[in-house]
């Protein structure tokens, strides 16, 4: 879907985690056919996306799964507000 919607330029780097779907031959073939290079994170790698995955888990738990949005505009508005709250006001256990 990303390849058809975004039309990435050849040489673009696609970063993914180690999920089985990203290691599948068919997926790898599509990426290579588009002229993209693959980059895959591994445990302890600075490019590891554990921090981002943790954030999205928190976002879904604290906001998304708690309500039904009337429409896409409301959803985007509430998510932007949540990100601002998360970055400025929310307590983070890792940094006290």
Q: Is residue 81, in this structure, part of any structural domain at all?
A: yes
pLDDT at 95: 61
CB-based burial label for 60 (10 Å; 0-12, 13-18, 19+):
exposed
Same domain for 36 and 8? yes
Q: What is the pTM of this model?
A: 0.49
Residues 37-88: tens digit of each pLDDT? 776 655 555 555 677 778 888 899 999 998 999 999 999 999 999 998 888 8
Q: Who has greater pLDDT, 85 or 23?
A: 85
Q: Is residue 45, in this structure, part of any structural domain at all?
A: no
Domains of the chain: total: 2
CB-based burial label for 14 (10 Å; 0-12, 13-18, 19+):
middle
Same domain for 62 and 30? no
Nearest to 52 by CA among 1, 10, 15: 15
C-alpha angle 22-26-27 in degrees, rounded to nearest 5: 30
Q: Are 40 and 18 in contact (CB under 8 A)?
A: yes
């Amino acid at each position: 879907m990303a390849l058809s919607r975004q039309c990435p330029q050849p040489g673009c780097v696609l970063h993914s985690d180690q999920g089985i779907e990203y290691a599948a031959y068919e997926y790898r073939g599509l990426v290579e056919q588009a002229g993209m290079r693959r980059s895959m994170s591994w445990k302890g790698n600075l490019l590891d996306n554990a921090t981002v995955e943790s954030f999205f888990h928190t976002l879904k738990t604290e906001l998304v799964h708690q309500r039904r949005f009337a429409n896409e505009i409301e959803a985007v508005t509430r998510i932007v507000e949540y990100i601002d709250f998360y970055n400025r006001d929310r307590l983070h256990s890792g940094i006290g």
